[in-house]
Structure 1
Amino acid sequence: MDDLRLSLRLLRAFMFAVDNGSITGAATALNVAPSAVAAALGRVEAEFGTSLVVRARARGITATPAGRALAARIRPLIEDYSNVMQEGYALSQGLRGTLNIGYYAPVAPAFLPIILQKLQKQSLDLKFNLQECDNKTAQSGLLDGTLDIALFAGDDLLTGVETRPLMDLPPYALLPEGHDLATADVLQFSDLNNVPLVLLDLPVAGAYVRGLFRTTGVTPDIVATVSSVEMVRSLVGAGMGAAVLNMRPRTTLSYGGDALRAIPLIDGASLNLVSGRAAGAPRRLVQVFQDTLHSWFNSPAALDLIAQPPRPGQAGSDQP
């Protein structure tokens, strides 16, 4: 049985006719022709197989007990529909509701709070749901509607996901202060030959770093594989080895309180950070967030997220 054979338009016309006691009165209120209201009455009665109104001369009508009962049930349905539509229009026109953000960016805490606070200043009706996820989970969330927007790295895109580039992330070597290589301005992958390596072994990131070593002909001496940036930084700070990363937080210390240095690796390909959302027109909140995000990444502050070779005349390397 198809429960949607009667449209809300037909049910609304029936309700107005009962409330007005007149086909012409309902037609005037709805700004339609009387014949459209009369046809709606006929469709509703035919669907339920019973007389719902008694028609009199001059197009006056009186609802039967069944008609009055049905109109009473229809009224909250129409009111709920109207409320849903108003809320939907508000979502497209204002900054309100919940924004579901997925991120596969190891140091997203270094920049996302700044951007979300900017949005929150524009509207106190905003809520945020942030989920750390990998590349594929982020994109799957966009396609199934559990995420509104996602930040992730890599070029392996799913059909139906639209992306905008945020930043190219060149690799750098993370070293404990005092390491023999930590005083260099720049390094090459060959400098990491025979150096113990702590590997951030996450989807995309792990394969990316292994690929860099393979491309440069260096065999890494992997002493630990871990799944969080902070554990990588803490192991490096404790002297377990070096690491190859792409983004850095705004601190020179590990969780363990050890000093760290970030030295650019000049012979490795960059990792691409993008924002993505499901194809099609987004609601206004999603578009505003994405625009604000990209505006921040085009600002000088975003450059703090990467280790860069010193400019001419500048001594020392960038630090994490």
Structure 2
Amino acid sequence: MPSAQRLEEKPLSFKDQVLFKFKDTQIEIRHRDQGCAITIPEEGQQEILHFLRLLQIGNLSLKQLSQACPDIQNQIPELLDEFIQRGLLTETRDLSRVSGVTGRQFYRELSRFLKRFKQQFPPSPLSQQLADGTLSREQLIGYALESYHVTHLCPRLLAPALAQYETTMTQNLLQEFFVSELHHDHLIKKSLKSVGIESEQLAQLQPLPMTFTVCAALGVFARQHPLSFKTALMLFEEDDKVFHELFKQRCQALNMPSDFYRPILLHAHINEEGAHDQITADLLTDVPYVSPEEQLLVKKNMTLLIESMILRTYEILDYYGNPDNIIPRCFMTTKESRI
């Protein structure tokens, strides 16, 4: 079996169905019945995680991986040898020799890739706390507040994409999607009003850092990389009926007003009725060709976006779960309120 040094110039990647499991200072890496565990000190965790993400995306050689992860470059050959011996790695094709695919083909491949990528993370702690009945009233309100930011900013984040004409079909799809997203923030505003948060406070809201990050990413993609923008919409518009049912049940268990959860559920229903979760499939169907380089860039952008969304969930739970924190988070306020 070849060593990492002999594959120095060969692009490498994890095989399909390689999954990660994080346990404090350990990372378990498994592929079917094969696997290994890596123990890493706290100060090296981010660099190791970055290295593993790059291997999952693939098409990088030992030399390129070392350049991308300079802090652990001396450990990389040993790690790669371990992965090779355990059958976790595969040699990928040189991008210069790989042909592109149609947008429709890319959507199918990308959907499978993102599904595998999400499987490496534990279940959403927000959903878990809804299911076991430990999510607090403040955390429910915090979820609505952070959702307000996304719905309020959404039309402005989408707007740059409308200025980049590609085809009539794509333009029509984006225009229809833009119009359908207008005023969705009014529903969340009604929800928040029912728990005492007024419009004057909403005008001064400050988003959590990761809420700002995911919104900014969508805006950047809309202006600078249309293919990543079209793909990102599928992550923002995913429907989760189980989550929304648990959300309703938890609100009722805490005797929260129906005017709080009904607008949020109505917003989810509007997205479902409009088949918003299919917007990416529809947009990519109109893309005639996606180069290997573009495929790789989109995958990198989407993995970063998913990680940001996961971190956002933890931030919501942490901030709004702390009774000492001010709710809502405002830039300036004359009335600091504790919901």
Q: Same fold (TM over 0.5)?
A: no
Q: Computing the radius of gyration over CA atoms, which structure comes out larger, 1 or 2?
A: 1
Query: Highest relative contact order (Cα 8 Å, sep 6+), 1 or 2?
Result: 2
Larger relative strand fraction: 1
